[in-house]
Each structure stands twice: as C-alpha cells, then as structure tokens.
Amino acid sequence: MDVITILFTTALWAAAIRIASPLIFATLGELLCERAGVINLGIEGIMTVGAFAGWITVYAGFGLWAGVVVAALAGALFGLLHAVLVVPLGLSQHVTGIGITLLASSLAYYFYRLALPEVTSPPKIEPFQPWAVPGLSDLPFVGEALFRQTPLTYLAFVMVALVAWLLARTPLGLAIKAVGENPAAAEAQGINVIAVRIGAVVAGSALMGVGGAFLTLSAFNSFFFDMINGRGWISVALVVFGSWRPGKALVGALLFGLFDAYQLRLQQWAGAVVPYQLFLMLPYVLSIIALILVSRRAAYPRALMVPYHKGER
C-alpha cells in the first residue's frame, strides 16, 4: 500500500475520528473555560484523573456509563479547585493550573498504586464496543468510517453541537462570553461574574475528565502511567487553533486525528528507514506550527487570564 492509497482506506478515517474523540472532549472543555476568561492548565492532570476514575469505577464492577459519570465528576471536582483558587482568590492561572496538573495526576497514580500494589501488567476491563448506527452505517465508505464508532465518540459530536448551541443561542452562553470579554460590563448587566466563571470552569473540567475516560473506557482497556501523554496540552493548542469556536475546534481536532492516524500508518510503511521517534514528534510539531500560523491574528477572549475583582477598575 502506498502513501496515497492509505488516504482512501476507511480504516484511516475511522482511526482519525477515534484519535480525535478524547481531544474533542478536552478541547471543548478548555474552550468553555477560556471563553469565560480562565485558562485551565490543569487539563493534563484532570484528564489523567478522568481516565483513572472512569477505569477504576468499571474495574470495581460498575457499568461503563457509571465510569463516564464518575470521570466527569472527578474532573469537575478538580475544576472546582482550580476555579476557586483563580476566580475569587485571583491566583496566577498559569501556576495554579500547573499545580492542579501535578496534584491531580499524582493523586491518580497514588490511588492506582493503593488499589493495585503489586501488579506489573495493568488489569483490563471490557471497554465500550463499536455501535453501528442503524441505516447510516450501511452507507458506502462514510458508514464504515463515521458510523461504526463507540458511543463515547457519538457523545463527543453531540457535545460539540451542544456547546456551540449553548454559546451562540442561550442567555447562559451570552453570560459566559460576556465574563470572558468584559467582566465589568457583565457585572453591570446583573451577571454574577464569579459564579459564571466558576460554573464554566467546572463544566469544562467535567468534559476534560470524560476526554480522559475515553482513553481507558473506549480506546484502550486499562489505565497506565503517563497515558494522557500531552493530549491535554495539545487540546490547549487546539483551542487557539479553533479561534475559541466549537465548530472550528472540532475541525482542528479531526485534522489532528487524521494526521496522527496517517503518521501511524506511514510509520509502518517507512519505519525501516525513518526512526519512529520522528513520526511520534510530528503531532507536537504540528501543534506548534498551527499555533505560529494562527496566533498573530488570534482573537483571545479579552479578559483571558485577567482576574476580576468586583468594584475594582
């Protein structure tokens, strides 16, 4: 199989969407935080916690969807911690976020070791199985690529539509955007800036948690150390790439998934001549290039990273 024909295999496109799914959740989550004016660098750790919490729930005998809910709650909990520290208390969002990442991931590892002290190979669970959408999955090409995914992938797409609708069409979405652009004006409109910001960070972090859980409950069937592997940081880059819009962020995540799926196949094809590490670097390099391309004209939410203190100017 050569470099071009790979592009026309359904397996490639199906893999692209699978790889994009956790990024879609995480990118949406980060987008929600940043639209409200809070950068959440706890994302990498929150995804780790989500991956662990979801997995341990299922491992303990509960259902897969219970795992997803627990992952979302665990993510929300660390989101709440981040939000309380940076919104009402106004701490540095960078430092707090890194602190949340370190705390969340080390707690996940601690509890993993506590639950399974002696294991060398991580125990497996029965993950989500692909679910063929009746009718649509019989379509040629598109059916196999798009409509034979696991339920969490469909949920990711639903969440994109939901967040896009929330931001564009609802008063709550307007409030979120307002506190991210001009909190003083929002306050004058009667919006509780602190509450809206905290709410957005908590909800966004819940999405990040589900993104992490996708890895343990859908993509793989066990939890292992460092499994998030920079996906959180890539999502932060994807938010910028997607100009803080859910639709564009989805396109970014899909492009990224496509690229990653493609390099995995190229790796098998050219692996003998080109060191595999170069292929593994590509996603990170691509993220940086994407950032350079869009950053100059990026329209950051104007109050991003600016703490808001009531009554101060």
CB of 27 to another protein, least distance (A): 13
Residue 209 near residue 73, CB atoms below 8 Å: yes
Q: Which one of 60, 162, 278, 306 is in contact with another protein (CB under 8 A)? A: 278
For position 95 contacting another protein by CB under 8 A, the verdict is yes
CB of 155 to another protein, least distance (A): 26
CB hemisphere CA count around 112 (13 angstroms): 24
Residues 6+ apart with CB under 8 A from 166: 172, 173, 176
Q: How far is the CB of 289 from another protein (least distance, A)?
A: 10
In this structure, how many other beta carbons lie within 10 angstroms of the beta carbon of residue 134? Answer: 8
**CA nearest 181: which of 42, 299, 83?**
299
Q: Does 311 bind another protein (CB under 8 A)?
A: yes
Report the distance separating Cα 164 and Cα 28, nearest Å.
9
Helix (H) or strand (E) holding 93: helix 93-115
The stretch near another protein (CB under 8 A) out of 57-65, 98-106, 119-127, 143-151 is: 98-106
Scan for tokens 């350079």, then name that residue. Answer: 292
Q: Count CA atoms closer than 13 A to 94's CA, side-chain side.
A: 0
195 binds another protein (CB under 8 A): no
- Judged on CB neighbours under 10 Å (0-12, 13-18, 19+), 111 is middle
* Closer residue to another protein (CB): 63 or 230: 230
Cα atoms found within 13 Å of the Cα of residue 271, Cβ hemisphere only: 9
Binding mask 41-70 for another protein (x = CB under 8 A): x-----------------------------
Please select the residue that binds another protein; options are 36, 64, 237, 258, rule is CB under 8 A: 237
Cβ distance to another protein smaller for residue 13 or 78: 78
- Residues in contact with another protein by the rule CB under 8 A: 41, 81, 85, 88-92, 94-96, 98-100, 102-103, 106-107, 109-110, 113-114, 117, 229-230, 233-234, 236-237, 240, 275, 277-278, 280-281, 284-285, 287-288, 291-292, 295-296, 298, 309-311
